[in-house]
Amino acid sequence: MRKHANFARQIRHYRGCGTQHNTDALVLDLTDKPIPGLYAAGELVGGLFYQNYPGGTGLLNGSVFGRLAGRNAGQAAQ
């Protein structure tokens, strides 16, 4: 028998916000200038939820921006 109760709470999985980025997956600062060496992909990236429909963009976002961010970060590291 358990001595303590288990608690569960609801969390938000998708959010309608996130970092702003350019087409190279570089994160933009508050003046829309790229931050050198800072790349974003997946659920961290904002601005992709058109018509308030996040379910259709999650896998595509991670695939496309993950590939871009990985490739560009690798090239920048050389």
pTM reported for the whole predicted model:
0.65
Contact by Cβ (8 Å): 47, 32: no
Taking the C-alpha atoms of residue 26 and residue 48, their distance in angstroms, rounded to an integer, is: 15
Find out whether 64 and 71 touch, Cβ atoms under 8 Å. no
**Interval 11-55: pLDDT, tens:** 555 555 678 889 898 999 999 999 999 998 877 777 666 555 556
Residues in the chain: 78
Instruction: Collect all residues with Cβ–Cβ distance below 8 Å to 66 and sequence separation of at least 6.
Output: 41, 42
Cα angle, residue 12 at apex, residues 10 and 18 outer, rounded to 5°: 160
